[in-house]
Amino acid sequence: MRLPHRSPLEALYEIVTATTRGAEPALAKLGLTMPTVYVLWAIDPDEPPPTMKTISERIDSTKSNLTFTTERLVELGYLTRTEDPSNRRFRVLSLTPKGRKARKAALDALNAACPLRKLSSRQLDQLFAILGPTLED
């Protein structure tokens, strides 16, 4: 029996922790950790390749941490890091075909492990309606 949550933050933390823990075996098979998944997740395959600066802002990461993480993803064959054709001072990150598959597999694993999947569509709509305003600036 679980104890009642003392705060909304604690409840959210437990959901994220359960999701991460449940997805870890599938992520490990892909050679991924949560920081590497965050980078893959932040790259929308249907948009032009983002700059490292853009990804850094999206995942709230320092440049040095992002460089380390992207090097790992390049080694795995999931990303390419090339010069931005419009500004040679920047680097862009592109998903490789293997990276697109890994991104999808990682997000599928996280979604499958998320305890919120137990909610009905109606309950999820209600949850989104409640949480939505909390994320507005």
Sequence ranges of the domains in the chain: 8-110
SS (H, E, C) the chain: CCCCCCCHHHHHHHHHHHHHHHHHHHHHHCCCCHHHHHHHHHCCCCCCCCEHHHHHHHHCCCHHHHHHHHHHHHHCCCEEEEEECCEEEEEEEEECHHHHHHHHHHHHHHHHHCHHHHCCHHHHHHHHHHHHHHHCC
Output the pLDDT for position 3: 58
pTM of structure:
0.88
CATH class label, 8-110? mainly alpha
- Residues 58-99 pLDDT 10s: 999 998 999 999 999 999 999 999 998 888 888 999 999 999
Q: Residue 30: pLDDT above 90?
A: yes
